[in-house]
Amino acid sequence: MFSSMDSNISIYLTCIFSLLGAIVCVIIFAKKKNNEKESKKKLPPGDMGLPWIGETMKFYKAQRTNKLFEEFVQPRIQKYGKIFKTRLMGSPTVVVNGTDANQFFLLNEFKLVISSWSSSSVQLMGKDSIMEKQGEKHRILSGITASSLSCAGLEAMVPKICDSVESHLNKFWKNKQQISLYQMTKILTFTIVFECLLGINVEPQMLGIFERVLEGVFAPPIRVPGSKFSRAKKAREEIERVLIDIVREKKMEMEGGGAKEETLFSRMVAGMMREEIREEEVVDNVVLLVFAAHDTTSFAIAMTFRMLAHHPNCFSLLLQEHADILSNKRAGEYLTMEDTKKMKYTWQVVRESMRLFPPIFGSFRKAIADIEYEGFIIPKGWKVLWTTYATHYNEDYFPDHMAFDPSRFEEPIQPYVFLPFGGGPRMCAGYQLAKLNILIFIHFVVTRYNWSLQYPDEPITMDPLPFPSHGMPINIYPKKL
Ligand code: HEM
């Protein structure tokens, strides 16, 4: 009897110990799994460099010679993969590369990330410009901007742009044998933004003051006499006084029932009268629009002409497109929106030039929450940098990627691969205006002038936006019309 009881107890104990063992195993296994999961949520690989300064100097050095991708981004992609960490200008930063990353971070604007500009840019553009706005405020401002920059708004602008280009050529190109293409297109873009988009007459001194503001946008925010930033801040105060007077004049004119013509400026002032936006917001957004359009459009034009000079076959095809459009016009008749839609090959050439020479290399965002992406964690407060190069210079999307081949754009390009104008809620508001400005300018120049580059291989510098280091001087010879 005892022996059968003993054997029952021992079976009982064996069962209990086995059960306990199983529970311990399950706990250990679950803990291990959890630890594995936790350890997977690690920071991306990379080198944070020296305290505070991090890898800023290496970044600037690569940027200055327009080799940001070749000398900074690509070697790190090879070493660490498409997502890597670094430290730039005092901020821990994760550089993300590729279509999926572009889509993820650009579409998650306002939800996981917000745009992040340097302190100098914010002080000079103003904290009330669209680039600093989030959520509802951003929606109101982009609504006002979009109403003028939509296709319907732009159609009315085409003859005005033609007029501005014609006056520009008469004033700055006529009887000249040489001009600086980059400088000239800056003047023209400035005039187009002010006169065609905003409906504000350009006073002679305004461009100079604006250029001084723009020179300080990426300089260190040190306000000591003689510094770039200090000069820029003074210029900003000067331009602010001029713009406040213009805003108040416009408001009085509109209150008195004048100002029939709707421009982006009158829409902003109307928004101010409805108390949707404040006077400071109107001023800051005028400054921002000039900044956003100025160096970008001029660089896109300059690089298009450079590529055309290097690829005479492409130039012949482009010239034919403009000769065909011109042959259907009466003497002196301006282009229409329909004509610009016929400039398909020209737009391919411009896009291919912007693929190789993007006017904006990418932009910084700031994480507003801890972000889990591709098995890594990007802590709240860290910066995220997406770049155009990572997809523009990728063999998978653009085979023989350094070759200039406008035919790549005959077929639609997969989303988030070609991003000279960015994407998501912060996609360039002036994309269509830039397109018209560039196409119409090319039409006038190639149908009226023969031209050649003075320095076919002029170096490109970045500070931090790219520009041809000698201003791209060209020789010009008027065509006999
Ligand atoms: C070739 C010429 C241009 C290029 C390559 C370009 C490129 C860009 C890019 C990449 C962004 C997005 C920046 C980001 O994601 O943080 C942007 C934003 C913007 N662009 Fe352009 N741009 C050009 C011309 C213009 C013009 C002509 C205007 C208007 C006059 C303009 C107005 C804006 C504005 C207002 C934003 C800010 C949008 C926002 O924050 O919601 N751009 N541009």
**pLDDT-derived band at 39, boundaries 50, 70, 90:** very low
Q: How far apart are CA 456 and CA 472, in angstroms?
A: 9
**pLDDT-derived band at 313, boundaries 50, 70, 90:** very high
pLDDT of residue 11: 61
DSSP state of 466: E
**428 labelled as ligand-binding?**
yes
Residue 195, pLDDT > 70, answer: yes
Q: How far is the CA of 21 from the centre of ligand 1 (A)?
A: 64
**pLDDT-derived band at 309, boundaries 50, 70, 90:** very high
| Tens-digit pLDDT profile for residues 94-143 | 999 999 999 999 999 999 999 999 888 999 999 999 999 998 999 989 98
Predicted model pTM: 0.90
Residue 22, pLDDT > 70, answer: no
433 lines ligand 1 (CB under 6 A): yes
Residue 269, pLDDT > 70, answer: yes
Strand ranges inside 27-131, DSSP E: 83-88, 91-96, 113-115
Complex ipTM:
0.99
Torsion of CA 360, 464, 213, 455, to 10 degrees: -90
Residue 25, pLDDT > 80, answer: no
Residue 19, pLDDT > 90, answer: no
Nearest in space to 93 (alpha carbons), one of 121, 132, 52: 52
Q: How far apart are CA 326 and CA 250, in angstroms?
A: 38
466 lines ligand 1 (CB under 6 A): no
Q: How far is the CA of 106 from the centre of ligand 1 (A)?
A: 14
Q: Which atom of ligand 1 is nearest to the CA of 427?
A: 12
How many residues in the chain? 481
Q: Which atom of ligand 1 is nearest to the CA of 193?
A: 30
Tokens standing for 439? 């196409």
310 CB neighbour count, 10 Å cutoff? 13
**pLDDT-derived band at 258, boundaries 50, 70, 90:** confident
Average pLDDT, the chain: 91
| Tens-digit pLDDT profile for residues 201-224 | 888 888 899 999 988 888 888 888
**pLDDT-derived band at 34, boundaries 50, 70, 90:** very low
**pLDDT-derived band at 463, boundaries 50, 70, 90:** confident
Residue 369, pLDDT > 80, answer: yes
Mean pLDDT of 340-368: 97
Q: Of all helices (H) and strands (E), which one includes residue 138?
A: helix 135-149
